């Protein structure tokens, strides 16, 4: 009885220690979220120097958002760039992860390689993008290098062609994220019971068989986690294309992402449309997060 009382007295400290988190969360995340949703139901923008609204318009902003069709284009751009970044990234990460975690292979210098492949993840995305902009500009070092070795006879306009502009953005993102993915997958592979590999070896399985029949199936929860979090990250694609194209999304708006679109509305103070777009993005991420939550939740129950 007495011990119980004491525990209760201590346990109020649980609430006390939570105060900073809750307060900051409510002020800087919850209230902004509510006002963002609130804004999405109001007409509120600047037409020249005159302020239009705020006036309640119900779902008008959402209707306009989808009727204009831009959101579809930007969604497509974002997804296309995510896919051409994610496919090589996951394949390379699986391969490297398998090699790093394979004890029989006895690779030397893995620490060096891990250090190098993780490095681009810490680089300031805007500076990295500015670097690529200068390197791949029409008179930049890459073009002069390619011309010096006789690969091309005149500068290739990397930033004026849809394919190469999207490709560059995907390349930068891939470079920045494959090291991180490799380390996540490697940690997952190291967590697999080594007895399984030994048993497979005794049965004479080749390393390809081991990879496809043991490693990959057991890695599925982590793979789903990596894929969904990468998709959530991909939807937030902003710094790299914003700096590379100076916010225009050129050529022909083919590299304009959803967040760049949002950023544009925020700068032009078109708060109604920005609100509607934010809510759409919020709903998409919430659904994706729920999937992650389910996957990792299941994983936890198992072990």
Partner 1 sequence: MDMAKNEGQELNKGMGLHARRILAYLVLITVSFLCLFWFYVLFINATRSNSDLQSGFTFIPGGNLAENWKNLVNGTLPIWNGLLNSLIVSTCSAALCVYFSTMTAYAIHAYEFKLKKYIYPFILMIMMIPTQVTALGFVQLVSKMKLEDSFIPLIVPTVAAPVTFFYMKQYMESSLPLSLIEAARIDGSGEFRTFNAIVLPLMKPAIAVQAIFTFVSSWNNYFTPALILHDDKKKTLPILIAQLRAADWLKFDMGQVYVMIAFSIFPVIIVYLFLSKHIVQGVALGSVKG
Residues 163-182 that bind partner 1 (CB under 8 A): 175, 179-180
Per CB under 8 A, the list member of 242, 249, 254, 256 interacting with partner 1 is 242
Q: Cα–Cα distance between 204 and 299 in angstroms, integer?
A: 30
**Candidate residues 1, 67, 122, 195; the one interacting with partner 1 per rule CB under 8 A:** 122
Q: Is 204 in the site for partner 1 (CB under 8 A)?
A: yes
> Is residue 188 involved in binding partner 1 (CB under 8 A)?
yes
- Asked if 41 is part of the footprint of partner 1 (rule: CB under 8 A), the reply reads no
Among 28, 66, 151, 212, binds partner 1 (CB under 8 A): 28
Stretches 3-11, 52-60, 63-71, 73-81: which one binds partner 1 (CB under 8 A)?
A: 3-11
Site string for partner 1, 48-87 (x = CB under 8 A): ----------------------------------------
Residue 186 binds partner 1, judged by CB under 8 A: yes
Contact status: 259 vs partner 1 (CB under 8 A): yes
Could you say whether residue 92 binds partner 1 (CB under 8 A)? yes
Residue that the structure tokens 């209230």 belong to: 31
CB of 80 to partner 1, least distance (A): 20
Could you say which of 57, 79, 99, 250 contacts partner 1 (CB under 8 A)? 99
CA distance 244 to 81: 14
Stretch that binds partner 1, among 45-53, 151-159, 162-170, 224-232 (CB under 8 A): 224-232
HEC string of 281-296?
Answer: HHHHHHHHHHHHHHHH
| Stretch near partner 1 under the rule CB under 8 A, chosen from 54-62, 122-130, 159-167, 192-200 | 122-130
- Smaller CB distance to partner 1: residue 7 or 49? 7
Q: Does 253 engage in binding with partner 1 (CB under 8 A)?
A: no
| 58/141 with CB nearer partner 1 | 141
Does position 184 interact with partner 1 (CB under 8 A)? The reply is yes
Q: Are 143 and 136 in contact (CB under 8 A)?
A: yes
Q: By rule CB under 8 A, what count of residues binds partner 1? A: 106
Residue 253 Cβ vs partner 1, minimum distance, rounded to whole Å: 18
């Amino acid at each position: 009885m007495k011990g119980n009382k004491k525990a209760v007295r201590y346990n109020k400290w649980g609430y006390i220690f939570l105060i900073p988190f809750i307060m900051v969360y409510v002020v800087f995340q919850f209230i902004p979220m509510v006002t963002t949703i609130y804004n999405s139901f109001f007409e509120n923008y600047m037409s020249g120097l005159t302020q239009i609204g705020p006036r309640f318009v119900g779902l008008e902003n959402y209707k306009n958002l989808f009727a204009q069709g831009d959101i579809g284009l930007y969604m497509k751009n974002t997804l296309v760039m995510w896919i051409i970044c994610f496919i090589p990234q996951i394949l390379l990460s699986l391969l490297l992860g398998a090699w790093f975690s394979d004890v029989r292979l006895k690779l030397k210098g893995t620490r060096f390689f891990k250090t190098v492949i993780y490095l681009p993840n810490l680089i300031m995305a805007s500076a990295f993008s500015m670097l690529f902009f200068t390197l791949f500009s029409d008179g930049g070092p890459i073009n002069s290098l390619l011309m010096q070795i006789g690969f091309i006879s005149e500068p290739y306009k990397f930033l004026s062609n849809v394919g190469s502009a999207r490709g560059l953005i995907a390349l930068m993102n891939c470079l920045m994220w494959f090291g991180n993915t490799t380390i996540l997958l490697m940690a997952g592979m190291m967590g697999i019971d080594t007895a399984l590999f030994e048993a497979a070896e005794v049965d004479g399985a080749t390393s390809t068989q081991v990879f496809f029949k043991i490693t990959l199936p057991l890695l599925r929860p982590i793979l789903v986690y990596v894929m969904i979090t990468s998709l959530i990250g991909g939807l937030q694609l902003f710094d790299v294309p914003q700096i590379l194209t100076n916010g225009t999304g050129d050529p022909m708006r083919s590299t304009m992402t959803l967040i760049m679109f949002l950023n544009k509305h925020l700068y032009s103070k078109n708060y109604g449309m920005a609100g509607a777009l934010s809510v759409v993005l919020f709903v998409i991420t919430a659904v994706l997060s729920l999937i992650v939550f389910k996957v990792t939740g299941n994983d936890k129950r198992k072990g």
